[in-house]
Structure 1
Amino acid sequence: MIEFYFVSITMILMLVGLLFEMERPEVILASTLMIFMVTGIVTPTEAMSGFSNEGMLTIALLFIVAGTIQKSGLVDRALQQLLKGASSNHHIMAKLLPPISLLSAFVNNTPIVMAATPMVKKWCEDKGISPSKFLIPLSYATILGGTITLIGTSTNLVVHGLLLEYGHKGFSFFQLSAVGIPITLLGLGYLIFFSSALLPDRNVSSIIESEALREFTGEVLVTRDFPYLNRTVKEAKLRSLKGVYLVSILREGETIAPVSSATILHKDDLLLFTGDISTITELQRMKGLELQSSSGSHFPEDHRLVEAVVTHHSSLLFKKIKETDFRSQHQAAVIAVHRQHDRLKAKIGDIVLKPGDVLLMIAGDEFSKKKRSADFYSITLLEEQLITPMQMKKGWLSIALLAIMIGLVTFGVLTMFTAMAITTLLLFLFKFVSPGEVKSLIQWHVLLMIACSFGIGLALTNSGVATSIAQFLMALSSPLGLFAVLLSVYILTNIFTEIMTNSAAAVLMFPIVVQVAKTMQIDLLPLAIIVAIAASSSFMTPIGYQTNLIVYGAGGYRFKDFIKVGFPLTLIVMVVTVVIVRFFWF
């Protein structure tokens, strides 16, 4: 009984921590698992069981396969073609959303949304319309498409791995399509024809244009009275200014950028600063520096303003910007932070970052060349990279290889794990991907959360909490019939997934539905299908799914926008899923 209450209280605290974003999700889940292991609720073997689960390992391999296709540039090129020729809101939605949903059935949806978001924003800027009309539907379309196949989302593979662990057969490759295709078609219909009326017409003006640079740039002239003439920037104490960042020096018509600490200052140098320009007046107190009017016209060509969204698993979370060593880590400087569409007025260095914050950064060439950071999702369209014929060839061959393996899985020749292992091995042998690239392709934080969730799920089972929750669900719903039981399973899973990540929600719900199946003496498979679909269907908050978080800041959305547009879609998906499962599997 003590174990029961201990696990219950610990789980409540874990959910509160996730809901209020007190720490990164993987840290909260790992800490919870550690508590359960130290207190003996789960054995060390049980705590580590998630790290060897077939579903989790398959996800790791799939990250490599999907990442290889993504880096070939074929996905980016396809998105660019889809955006060409679109003339109206409904036209672009009808043209863009169905192919993206289909693509998401086979490729991880996070990089798809990361690639599409800046393209859609740029298209909207060129057409003079609001990106807020398109970005939530873009995220939702990829979520819906992910429910169609076994590899469409990590959630499906996690539930598949759990079924195998509990001695069941697991999902076939297209088994979820019986539910995934209908909810995707109906969901797309809702998004294309009805979501526009519910979405805000919120113009998120481009801050890349030169006129907008006035707000973020200030120019200072070095005169003959400056005491640090012919001395370095570091000696002049211009490297560690609060709120502003020295971007470049204009000297006799030539631009010096980037500016190093060892750069020598000369008379008549024009210093360009960027950041919180309200603090630049402090420079006027320094003898020999004269503040000039700024139009942003002297902004160096090899530097640009970039927007990015802070991720749920970022190492920057819950730290002051000045404590993160941001400039050296990312070759960029933060000059503004927006949260829920509002610009934070505090000094840049003192701002404590949270998931979903939009960073406005000044970045040079090295930022574009740097591999995509795990700390944030870039939502600014960087310079298009030339896709070589060799890259395209590798991309098409990778797709062909994946298609062959999917065929072998579909006809039962190979298991999903074996197929992905062979595919990954061949990609290495053909040198389509190098061992050094694997580190950046695998989303380690996702794997850690999933692996920890398995141990936490066993704690629910060992302590009797899973049985208690199952009995409570049965007491409420079983008198109303099987349909009510299925509906209650869907609703509870969906609540979990809006609080935590989708895969973690599925793992925590699984021991509960195992108990429900045993009590009612029904097949576990249809309940597992409901858990997989409900855990993926995070539409009402920006924090439940990574793609929602990406578009959250990019579209200038508020929390209520997701509720307003996502609630009808949640009802559609819930009703269709439960009805199909009820009459197709029972």
Structure 2
Amino acid sequence: MPLDAWISLVVVTAVFPLMAFTRLGSDMVLMGALVVLLTLGVVDPSQALGGFSSTGLFTVAFMYVLVTAIRETGGIDLIIRHVLGRPSGEARVMSRLLLPVASLSGFLNNTPVVATYIPAVLSWSRRIGVPAHRLLMPLSFASILGGTITLFGTSTNLVVHGLLVERDPTLAMGLFDIAWVGVPVAIVGLIYLILVGPALLPARRGAAEVFENPREFTIEMEVDPSGPLVDRTVEKAGLRHLQQLFLVEIEREGNIVSVVGPGERLKGGDRLVFAGTSEGAVELQQVRGLIPSRQGESSLEKDFTERRLVEAVVSNQCQFIGQRIRDGHFRTLYGASVLAVCRGGERVPGNLGQVRLQPADVLLLEARPPFIERHRQSRDFLLISQVNGAARPVHEKAWLAWSILVGVVVLAAVGVMSIMNAAMLGAALAVVSGCCTVGAAKRGLDTQVLLTIAASFGLGAALDSSGAAAVLASGVLGLAGSNPWVLLVAVYVLVTLLTSVVTNNAAAVITFPIVMASADSLGVNPMPFVVAVMFAASASFLTPIGYQTNLMVHGPGGYHFVDFLRVGGLLNLLTAVVALALIPLVWPF
């Protein structure tokens, strides 16, 4: 095997554990690997940067703009309002929730669909008396199943199809071609989720239940009007660096001072809200000039225009992962104070400032109103929703945004335009018509996903051009023999396992050249194996880290890692059996 092939194999092999077991972003890991291959001369600049000119990449980018337009106009909220209702019986509840989600996910990116549904489902679950943990995981899984119905369903479908067309334009697929397999897979999966899945989930407390009583994690004191703290700054009063708690807000004469700075001067009668441990109350008793609050109602239960209570789910890309909240200067960077941390359905006990953040932690934050819009698209948080906040009003252009999306689907489905051209035209119309601003369109682009896709193309090119893909293919054929059925199952299992620990786009794009080389060596039609890659990459049911929507529901639902194995394991098996049985019938070997 040539030296370039060995280098490619070593670099690609190193990529997967780095993405799975480190806090480095998948985009940074893959871009770093690409730089190594480029520096060592394994790929030339045109191969390394080829992913940035891929039709699949641009189609994904344009689809993000269309999704942004629907979100900005309240289009998904419109569906939620008209669909959820008040059904009776858990099966009807699940049907009313999952069927629309799966349908929407066939044409929209899963993440904004799930992000919009989660706050609505939490409120809806209380209204209809169904625990939220029985709804949130099925919500995520239904969105994944819906993504298998069309080429628009997931970025992975679009990217793999882009690779296929670049390799052989005659193999181009129609928008609904994979529906012959995707619809049966989705139907079987949804039936399982409606009738069986929720019963496999043990009782769990979600973040909403943990955070429902502010008195459990806050301590309130008042500044004695005749005491020594009057007119002192927070810093000089010794309230800035308390050991067991920290000052969150000051209620003063019917107004609120949120995210208190060290230079804020205290006034007599100020009501101070501290977050931390109950043991911290002892520490506060030692501060001369503070007296217990004489008001019965908790300050956090009052509504102030200057303050928002929000729940934020920590992303696995958050820069504070592994750091203590106090050491990371969380309040300074985000302009928000952490009131409590929920992990695995339980509030993290002890000194709040000493808590080290982990992916999927749910934070109860107090912040100023601009925080929500400023960080809604932040890579540090997967979900930001206002606690007990009203749903966003439906904008009058929601129907226009939906019409643009329908037009894109029709143009691509009937072959008037290519999928990329239709998506590009739709994105332009969304901006020109005012469904979303240029700024919102830019913020809607998930740069991490786009960089991951582009860099994955470079790694795939390295495997292909260096001969490593052919060598790996011969090894796979040695195990599979000359039986295409065995090869098909092996491809599906390999990609499924990879997508459980790394991003589905990276798993699909890097394995694509190996799969094509294997099909060529066997002398059979490559289409069954390409479609198997699409479906296997979407089968992200086994772990919370396998797909972004799983991580989004992990904290709010109070799930444990084993819950995903319990419910997702059988779902993975069912969808694999259906997909592997149907793929060769639609695309014969």
TM-score, structure 1 normalization = 0.92
Partner residue of 1:448 out of 443, 446, 451: 451
1:28 Cα shift? 1.7
Equivalent residue number for residue 270 of structure 1: 271
SS of equivalent to 1:32: helix
Equivalent residue number for residue 577 of structure 2: 575
Q: Distance in 2 between matches of 1:327 and 1:551?
A: 25
Instruction: Report 1:387-406 matches (<5 A).
Output: 387=393, 391-392=395-396, 394-406=397-409
CA deviations on 1:450-482 (whole Å, 9 max, x unpaired) are 111111112222343322322222122235x22
Partner residue of 2:334 out of 323, 330, 335: 330
Q: Distance in 2 between matches of 1:296 and 1:446?
A: 46
Equivalent residue number for residue 431 of structure 2: 428
Q: Distance in 2 between matches of 1:352 and 1:247?
A: 19
Q: Verify: 1:536 aligned to 2:538, yes or no.
A: yes
1:85 Cα shift? 1.2
Range with bigger deviation, 133-142 or 17-26:
17-26
Equivalent residue number for residue 389 of structure 2: 383
Report sequence identity in percent: 36
SS of equivalent to 2:299: coil
1:350 Cα shift? 4.0
Aligned in 2, Cα 1:87/1:99: closer, same or farther, shift over 3 Å?
same
Instruction: Report 1:180-579 matches (<5 A).
Output: 180-204=182-206, 206-207=208-209, 212-223=213-224, 226-242=227-243, 244-251=245-252, 254-258=254-258, 259-292=260-293, 297-299=298-300, 300-302=302-304, 303=307, 305-322=309-326, 324-345=328-349, 347-370=351-374, 372-374=376-378, 375-376=380-381, 377-378=383-384, 383-385=389-391, 387=393, 391-392=395-396, 394-479=397-482, 481-579=483-581
SS of equivalent to 2:230: coil
SS of equivalent to 1:338: strand
Conserved in 2, the CA contact under 8 Å of 1:113 and 1:547? yes
Equivalent residue number for residue 31 of structure 2: 30
Conserved in 2, the CA contact under 8 Å of 1:246 and 1:274? yes
Equivalent residue number for residue 54 of structure 1: 55
Aligned length: 580
Range with bigger deviation, 398-407 or 200-209:
200-209
Aligned in 2, Cα 1:334/1:465: closer, same or farther, shift over 3 Å?
farther
Aligned in 2, Cα 1:41/1:294: closer, same or farther, shift over 3 Å?
farther
Partner residue of 1:171 out of 173, 182, 191: 173
1:349 Cα shift? 3.7
SS of equivalent to 1:577: helix
Conserved in 2, the CA contact under 8 Å of 1:275 and 1:334? no
Equivalent residue number for residue 131 of structure 1: 132
Amino acid at match of 1:383: G
1:31 Cα shift? 1.7
Range with bigger deviation, 19-28 or 273-282:
273-282
Equivalent residue number for residue 148 of structure 2: 147
SS of equivalent to 2:279: helix
Conserved in 2, the CA contact under 8 Å of 1:249 and 1:270? yes
Q: Distance in 2 between matches of 1:349 and 1:31?
A: 34
SS of equivalent to 2:248: strand
Range with bigger deviation, 167-176 or 199-208:
199-208
Conserved in 2, the CA contact under 8 Å of 1:248 and 1:273? yes
Q: Distance in 1 between matches of 2:295 and 2:576?
A: 55
Q: Distance in 1 between matches of 2:385 and 2:430?
A: 29
Equivalent residue number for residue 163 of structure 2: 162
CA deviations on 1:11-58 (whole Å, 9 max, x unpaired) are 333211222233222222222222222222222222111111110011
Aligned in 2, Cα 1:338/1:273: closer, same or farther, shift over 3 Å?
same
User: Please, which runs of 5 or more residues in structure 2 have no aligned partner?
Assistant: none
Conserved in 2, the CA contact under 8 Å of 1:24 and 1:314? no
1:319 Cα shift? 4.1
Q: Distance in 2 between matches of 1:436 and 1:511?
A: 37
Q: Distance in 1 between matches of 2:14 and 2:23?
A: 11
SS of equivalent to 1:306: strand
Conserved in 2, the CA contact under 8 Å of 1:69 and 1:398? yes
Q: Distance in 2 between matches of 1:203 and 1:341?
A: 5
CA deviations on 1:185-237 (whole Å, 9 max, x unpaired) are 11111111111221122133635876x11121112232367433223334334
Q: CA RMSD in A?
A: 2.4
Amino acid at match of 1:456: L
Q: Distance in 2 between matches of 1:279 and 1:5?
A: 59
1:364 Cα shift? 3.7
Equivalent residue number for residue 82 of structure 2: 81
Q: Distance in 1 between matches of 2:309 and 2:209?
A: 7
Q: Distance in 2 between matches of 1:463 and 1:338?
A: 48
1:408 Cα shift? 1.9
Equivalent residue number for residue 122 of structure 1: 123
Q: Distance in 2 between matches of 1:29 and 1:416?
A: 27
Amino acid at match of 1:359: L
SS of equivalent to 1:336: strand
Conserved in 1, the CA contact under 8 Å of 2:5 and 2:468? yes
1:261 Cα shift? 4.5
Conserved in 2, the CA contact under 8 Å of 1:214 and 1:295? no
Q: Distance in 1 between matches of 2:484 and 2:392?
A: 56
SS of equivalent to 1:541: coil
Equivalent residue number for residue 104 of structure 1: 105
Conserved in 2, the CA contact under 8 Å of 1:23 and 1:317? no
1:427 Cα shift? 2.1
CA deviations on 1:393-432 (whole Å, 9 max, x unpaired) are x221222222223222222221111111111222222232
Q: Distance in 2 between matches of 1:498 and 1:576?
A: 19
SS of equivalent to 1:533: helix
TM-score, structure 2 normalization = 0.92
Amino acid at match of 2:49: M
1:260 Cα shift? 4.9
Q: Distance in 1 between matches of 2:24 and 2:151?
A: 31
SS of equivalent to 2:481: helix
User: Please, which runs of 5 or more residues in structure 1 have no aligned partner?
Assistant: none
Aligned in 2, Cα 1:9/1:278: closer, same or farther, shift over 3 Å?
farther
SS of equivalent to 1:321: coil
Q: Distance in 2 between matches of 1:263 and 1:309?
A: 30
